[in-house]
Structure 1
Amino acid sequence: MPEPLLIFAILIAVFVGFNIGGSTTAPAFGPAVGASLVPKVVAGGLMAVFFGLGAATIGRRVVDTLGQQVLHDSSLFTLESSIVILGLVGLALFAGNRTGVPASTSMTTVGVIAGLGVASGELQWATMREILFWWVVAPIAGFAVSVVVGYVYYQRVADWISSSSADEPLFAIDRSGTIPTVTVTSSQRDELLAGVIVVGVGCLMAFSSGTSNIANVVAPLIGGGVIEMPIGIGLGSAAVALGALTIARRTLETLGSDIVELPLPAALVASTVSATIIVVLSLLGIPASFVVVATVSIAGLGWSRTLRGDGDSENRLSTPVGDGGVEPAEKHGALTPTGDGEPERELDFDPLESARVVTLQHVLPGVATASAYVVFSVAPVY
């Protein structure tokens, strides 16, 4: 029978995975759900499948990095230290949700493990320098690519998506037979292609999340030999799937994500650029933050629109919010009327807000790192 401490450690890991599933499903599939391409339950299912696929393939490399290469001695990952590490990661996730700025789970996990390494004198500085190098390069690359795409191609993408949008869902579930089947409700090629692209980008984001985030759930337990890699991958993926199919339904319904609040073309561009960068870094075994790369990619898109001179601040509209008030357009982007009289959100750029978000995304992992160093210095449970 497993000892109580092991059960507690696994429960904390499941809690972290559960929250990751709840918080990452909306950025991945919010545009598809918002466009009525897939129902929420299908979005949760796709998140579970593609996260698990990313975790079981490329994600192993990131687990090896965090579990074997950040510390000289992986035996420091005892049950007690693993509980502290996963607990601090869970607290950072909670704090990020409370402040409205999602904390980088990968940066927090690396920082907490680094705090253990410094306190014990077992930190692999060469590995940390490599990770930090890519943490600098990845956002710069995301920003640069997004500026180019935004300046040269964004308007074409936006116009194509606008002309290809369907008034009705493209896919429906036919329950008339014994076994429900999915039927296509549109015969327009461009509408189908646009719908497939929106759902496909969501699947790519879910896959990239699996490649990077699985290590944040189970790396300490696997690194310390508490559980084996296949069991850890399965456990972490199941925990994320549980979050995706339960609490993510609420975030999908409210679309309470910065990425989802963007106009659809911007969300697709930023998501594609960010997910691709994260997959490449995961192939290198580098734990990286999707939320940081996505934030600077969004900022790059906004800045490119400023360079083009698109959007007139005097013509910005306001958009109603859920509590019946009116929210300034600066927060979610300017709106312009479309041909049918409905406002369509445009991409806007607020450098101060972008700087605030990126700063907080680094402050929370920094606080978690310092907390880990203090805890492991005062109570060396490794």
Structure 2
Amino acid sequence: MIIMYAACAVALFLAMNIGASGAAASISIAYGSGALPNRRKALLVCGIAIFAGAALGGSEVVKTIGSDIIPQSILDAKIVLIILSSAALSLFIANLMGIPLSTSEITVGSVVGVGIAYKALFINNILVIVSFWFIIPVVAFILALGAGKGIKKLEKRYPKLTSSGMRKPLSIFVIIVGFMEAFSAGMNNVANTAGPLVGAGIVTVSTGVIVGGLFIAAGAIFMGGRVLQTNGKNITSFSLLEGGAISGTGATLVILASIFGLPVPLTQVTSSAIIGIGAAQRGSAIFKERVITKILKVWIVSPVLSLVLSYGLVKLFVHADIYTLFVLFGVCTATLGTLSLAKTIKEDSRNYFENSGGI
């Protein structure tokens, strides 16, 4: 009973942190563009949209996380606690290191780690989920690129679109699509906290999406100010139409994915849409930005980090296999050492050539 209560507590803690990070960022374009200039009102709109999305459309992704990745027979209170703790710990470690992880990816990674420990995975379902982690951001880029080029032509042909007289209707448009993006965040992200609990039979689907959605919304409203401020400052180079295109692209794709029960990374979808708009503005020069490399690293690091944590916790606390931990520690140490060595070699090589030691 204590373990069950602990699992529920960790789920609610994770929900609050999801709301404070990725979910709060979903309204940042409306806030940063000035369509919703008041931070408190922007977060309130975000919270309402998140809760509505979770309550009305979060059930399909919850079922996927709870029963379509590993057999439900594996899930009990202890395993659920391990899954949720791995996801929460991954987020915590990432926050310390300043790495923006996808909550959907770390939750799926945590569940997969448990499945690997038990040698029980629905491989076909996992391949479908992972493939869409790449397909949907690519589609977001293409759609945003097309929208960006279309907007450039429209603004050139009709200069009135950029005039102060059009600001109010365009602001309303941006607020609406921002609401829909936050709605999509609620639909997709509530599964990260409710899915394992539902799969283990600890809560029902309806209770999971309502309570989970409520806590994600609360996290966005009361703790999302810093993320909103940071993300809002990063979008000032976009016009209102371009900002609306970014939010609209992300919202549409994530809502569609949620309807089909696919947990997808909203942050990567939005980032890909931003890159698409940037490519429409600047052409291929956008691909020289370090953000591209950063996104690719996030795609890889997010699920792998939580997978390793959940696998290790199962081996330690369920199978009492302490030797596996030594192996994991050795692999992590070797990986970090190799990366550090490669960086040192690269720096030495650069210094060698800069000091005329080379050609």
Normalised-by-shorter TM-score class: 0.7 to 0.9
Q: Distance in 1 between the 2:114 and 2:144 partners?
A: 36
1:317-356 aligned at under 5 Å gives the runs 350-356=288-294
Could you tell me the percent identity over the aligned residues?
26
Contact persistence 2:106–2:303 (CA under 8 A): yes
**TM-score with structure 1 setting the length:** 0.75
User: SS at 2:262's partner residue?
Assistant: coil
Contact persistence 2:144–2:246 (CA under 8 A): yes
Q: 1:131, CA displacement in angstroms?
A: 1.0
1:48-127 aligned at under 5 Å gives the runs 48-72=47-71, 74-127=72-125
The RMSD of aligned alpha carbons is: 2.6
Q: 1:56-111 CA distances to partner (integer Å, 9 max, x unpaired)?
A: 22210000111111112x13221111111111111222233334342111011111
1:255 maps to a residue whose letter is T
Match of 1:240 in 2: 216
Name the CA shift for 1:263/1:69 in 2 (closer, same or farther; >3 Å).
same
2:260 maps to a residue whose letter is L
User: SS at 1:285's partner residue?
Assistant: coil
2:130 maps to a residue whose letter is L
Q: Distance in 1 between the 2:56 and 2:234 partners?
A: 26
Contact persistence 2:25–2:227 (CA under 8 A): no
Match of 1:315 in 2: none
Q: 1:126, CA displacement in angstroms?
A: 1.5
Name the CA shift for 1:99/1:294 in 2 (closer, same or farther; >3 Å).
farther
Q: 1:293, CA displacement in angstroms?
A: 1.3
User: SS at 2:202's partner residue?
Assistant: coil
> What is the aligned length?
316
2:59 maps to a residue whose letter is R
Task: Say whether 1:300 aligns with 2:297.
Answer: no
Name the CA shift for 1:36/1:191 in 2 (closer, same or farther; >3 Å).
closer
1:216 alignment partner, one of 182, 192, 209: 192
Name the CA shift for 1:106/1:258 in 2 (closer, same or farther; >3 Å).
farther
Contact persistence 1:299–1:351 (CA under 8 A): no
Contact persistence 2:22–2:267 (CA under 8 A): no
Q: 1:160, CA displacement in angstroms?
A: 5.9
1:363 maps to a residue whose letter is V
Name the CA shift for 1:288/1:98 in 2 (closer, same or farther; >3 Å).
same
Contact persistence 1:295–1:358 (CA under 8 A): no
Contact persistence 1:255–1:261 (CA under 8 A): no
Match of 1:42 in 2: 41
Contact persistence 1:47–1:203 (CA under 8 A): yes
Task: Say whether 1:376 aligns with 2:314.
Answer: yes
Ranges in structure 1 where 5+ consecutive residues have no aligned partner: 165-187, 310-347
Q: 1:248-273 CA distances to partner (integer Å, 9 max, x unpaired)?
A: 13333x33468646534443322211
Larger fraction in helix: 2
Name the CA shift for 1:243/1:76 in 2 (closer, same or farther; >3 Å).
same
Q: 1:172-209 CA distances to partner (integer Å, 9 max, x unpaired)?
A: xxxxxxxxxxxxxxxx5x33311211211210111100
Name the CA shift for 1:381/1:199 in 2 (closer, same or farther; >3 Å).
farther
Ranges in structure 2 where 5+ consecutive residues have no aligned partner: 321-359
Task: Say whether 1:255 aligns with 2:230.
Answer: yes
Contact persistence 1:64–1:223 (CA under 8 A): yes
Q: Distance in 1 between the 2:201 and 2:236 partners?
A: 42
1:231 maps to a residue whose letter is T
Match of 2:175 in 1: 199
Match of 2:323 in 1: none
Name the CA shift for 1:55/1:23 in 2 (closer, same or farther; >3 Å).
same
Q: 1:8-58 CA distances to partner (integer Å, 9 max, x unpaired)?
A: 211111111111111135422223334163533322222222112211222
Q: Distance in 1 between the 2:112 and 2:221 partners?
A: 33
Match of 1:225 in 2: 201
2:52 maps to a residue whose letter is L
Name the CA shift for 1:149/1:240 in 2 (closer, same or farther; >3 Å).
same
Contact persistence 1:25–1:43 (CA under 8 A): no
User: SS at 1:279's partner residue?
Assistant: helix
Q: Distance in 2 between the 1:366 and 1:264 partners?
A: 37
1:148-227 aligned at under 5 Å gives the runs 148-154=146-152, 156=154, 162-164=162-164, 190-227=166-203
Q: Distance in 2 between the 1:365 and 1:161 partners?
A: 42
1:377 maps to a residue whose letter is K
Match of 2:328 in 1: none
Match of 1:274 in 2: 250
Name the CA shift for 1:145/1:352 in 2 (closer, same or farther; >3 Å).
same
Name the CA shift for 1:222/1:157 in 2 (closer, same or farther; >3 Å).
farther
Larger fraction in strand: 1
Q: 1:288, CA displacement in angstroms?
A: 0.5
Name the CA shift for 1:368/1:308 in 2 (closer, same or farther; >3 Å).
closer
